[in-house]
Each structure stands twice: as C-alpha cells, then as structure tokens.
Chains A and B, each alone.
Chain A
C-alpha cells in the first residue's frame, strides 16, 4: 500500500511551485503577501521581516506538503506578524501609532500605467483612514482574492462578519472617494 503522502505533490496553482524557481514564484505572489503583512505590522521593515521569515520557512520545509500554498503562506505571515507584535510589546506609547501601523510615506501600490499618481494616492490615503479590522478584510478580499470563508478562518471570525466588514469598508471608501469620482 502506498503511503498517503509522496513527494512531490502539485498544489492547486497555475505554476507548479516545486518546479518554478523561488524568485519567479515570489515575483508572482510576493507583492500580495507583502501588502497583507503591512496590515498586521507597524512598518514596511517589519512587514518585510515577517514575509521573509514565512516565505523562507515555507520554501524550505512546507512547499511539498499538500494544501493551498497561498493559504499556508498567509497564515504563516499572520502568525509571524503576531509573534513580532508580542516581541515588540514593550515599545513605548510614544512609539505606538494610532494609524494601526501603516506607513504614511511608503506607497502600497504601483502607479497605474497611463494615469497620474493623484488618484492612487487618494485611494491609499482613504485606505489608511479605514479601521484596521475593515482594512485587513478588504485587502484579503480584493488583492489576496480569498473567499469570506477563508478570511473568516484566517482571522477567527465568521464569514458573515468578514462580509459585513468588507461591505462597511467599501462603503466608507466610497464616501471618502465620492467627491473625487464626480470631480
């Protein structure tokens, strides 16, 4: 009888990750992971640290395990971010940021081809003003393309709660950006 797990195991991905070089894999999926990590960390440097830790661990030890690689990695990134937050818990109140950890000067998104930066910056600023719990659901839904069930499992909330936060986030963004849409 064959063992239940034999290597290699092809995950559900467009590119079989066990055959693609890590650089190509990271080029395709790294930007989204980094965007998600920035919702859970205080700075771009911290976000890069947790992505690095999660990705190295995944590529070295977990990529031959069955399971959706993106789900594994997002879970790993979030755990690493929570671990980092606990390790940094002695940071002083003066260093704490009321904005939930978003950098104000480092862009989250690439400039849109053929368009100016103004609209992108307005969207980033509006995202920045969202409550952290709504912003993380929005990022996971729009750019990580998770379902509400997957988001609920990741954040330990119900899918309905995830869907509500998503709707509230979109509604709040629409109010923030509405004058610009008609401008």
Chain B
C-alpha cells in the first residue's frame, strides 16, 4: 500500500465514533433489568412490547443433550502420543484464553510454540427460518403479528497444537410480537 493510503488510514483511525445517546443507554438499562420474559423496547414502535422466549420442547432438549454427549465423548478420547496428557481437553476448554507471552531482548523476538489447548476461534448465528405464526391482540387491543425466528448458534474451538477443532451448535427460537400495519 502506498504512503498516501497509509496516511489516509492513519487519519481515519484518529477519528473516534460518536458516543451512543443517553436514550440508548436508558433503553439498554431497561432491557437488562426487565424480568426474564425480556421486553424488546423499540424506539420506532414505542407502544409495542414483544415477548422473546426460547421454544423448548423435547426435540430441542434431545438435540442439546445429544450435542453435549458428543462433546463429552470427544474430550474423553485418548490423546495421540507426544501430547502432554496433563492438559486435558476439558481443562483446555474451561481455561482462560491464552495470551502468548513473547520475550523480547534487544531486537530479537522469541517465537511462541503452539499451545496445546482448545481456544475459541469463532461464533456464528444463522437464521434458517422465519415464520409468521398468527395475528394476535396485544394488551392495548391493537392487532399484532407474531413471528417465529429460528436460529442455529455455532461456536468453534481449535487446538493449535493438534489442529483439532470442536464445533458446538445450539438451536434457538425467538418469538416476536410486532404491530400489524394496516396501511
């Protein structure tokens, strides 16, 4: 990259994004102190309260139990020879993320060997289905649409020493109630 682009990059980096408004902070605070039914307070539709909740039934619980069992099996598998058995996978997953310490002496940098423990490397949430359930009536007698959002959240860990990776996917449902627009 040429020098003028580097200078432009540095100039852009000196800019600081505007701070969120006091109103946003207040709405977040209200959202955090709201009871477990979780009220979604929308600035654009202040009269509407949508209820977000998890859809738990035997299928979801069974799927989660199967994933948990798979994870337990993986972490109890015998490790290949040459790997320190003291650092078990379960300890690695539970441990704090590693911050490699790089020793610097004068101008020399000592390379850090790959750490033999699982580290979080990614997280993703995929919306795979969106369904409109039905029209409902909210507390102020106005019609509203009930929408069901279905997600799969996937978390990935990787062991740099063995190149083994672990993915954990969890289904999640959200039900939202939105004002119905008549025009």
Asked if B178 and A87 sit within 8 Å, CB to CB, the answer is yes
Please name the residue on chain B nearest to A153 by beta carbon: B122
User: Which of B5-13, B58-66, B105-113, B135-143 participates in binding chain A?
Assistant: B5-13
Asked if A55 and B28 sit within 8 Å, CB to CB, the answer is yes
Count residues on chain B whose CB falls below 8 Å from chain A CBs. Answer: 55
Residues on B with C-beta less than 8 A from A177 are 8
1/0 per residue, CB under 8 A from B, across A76-103: the answer is 1001001100110010000000000000
Q: Does B80 contact A (CB under 8 A)?
A: no
- Chain A nearest CB from B168 CB (Å) reads 9
Q: A11-B97, A153-B124 are in contact. Are A110 and B76 (CB under 8 A)?
A: no
Alpha-carbon separation in the docked complex, A49 to B90 (Å): 38
Count residues on chain A whose CB falls below 8 Å from chain B CBs. Answer: 63
**A-side binding surface: helix, strand, loop or mixed?**
helix
Report the number of A-B residue pairs with Cβ-Cβ less than 8 Å.
153
- Chain B nearest CB from A138 CB (Å) reads 8
Q: A45-B44, A66-B157, A120-B15 are in contact. Are A173 and B8 (CB under 8 A)?
A: yes
Residues on A with C-beta less than 8 A from B16 are 31, 109-110
Q: Does B171 contact A (CB under 8 A)?
A: no
Q: With contacts A5-B94, A71-B123, A109-B16 known, what are 19 further pairs, Cβ within 8 A? A: A4-B94, A22-B32, A26-B20, A32-B17, A45-B44, A48-B20, A48-B23, A52-B24, A52-B28, A52-B31, A67-B120, A76-B125, A79-B125, A87-B147, A109-B15, A123-B15, A138-B12, A167-B1, A174-B8
